[in-house]
Amino acid sequence: MPVRTCLFCRQAIDKSLLVRFVSCGGALTADLEGREPGRGAYTCRSRVCIEGALKRKGAFSRALKTQLTMPETEWAERLIKDIGA
């Protein structure tokens, strides 16, 4: 299996254990199926890593090599609930 690095904790982990994020029209979106086209950025499925990466200024923009509109807090909370973190 491919290995990817978490944006927050920087651990190299099996890709299937991470959440993939992509830029969709300049907005950050979670690609839970792993099927969206384009460059992806990954975090662990833990609440700490997802929230930490979202709070770290420019982390997703650098990883995805594009300017992004960051989601609201409610979006992050729904995502964390959906993946069971």
Phi-psi region of 55 (alpha: psi -120 to 50; beta: other; left: phi over 0): alpha
Name residues whose C-beta falls within 8 Å of residue 69's C-beta, 6 or more positions apart in sequence.
26, 27, 28
12 or 32, greater pLDDT:
12
pTM of the predicted model as reported, rounded to 2 decimal places: 0.88
* Residue pLDDT, tens place only, 41-84: 999 999 999 999 999 989 999 999 999 887 767 888 888 888 87
State how far the Cα of 58 lies from the Cα of 20, in Å rounded to an integer.
17
State how far the Cα of 48 lies from the Cα of 69, in Å rounded to an integer.
21
Q: pLDDT band for 18, please (50, 70, 90 cuts).
A: very high
- Give the dihedral of Cα atoms 55, 70, 2, 16; nearest 10 deg: 90
Which CATH number goes with the domain that contains 33?
3.30.1230.10
Residues of the domain holding 11: 3-83
**Structural domain count, the chain:** 1
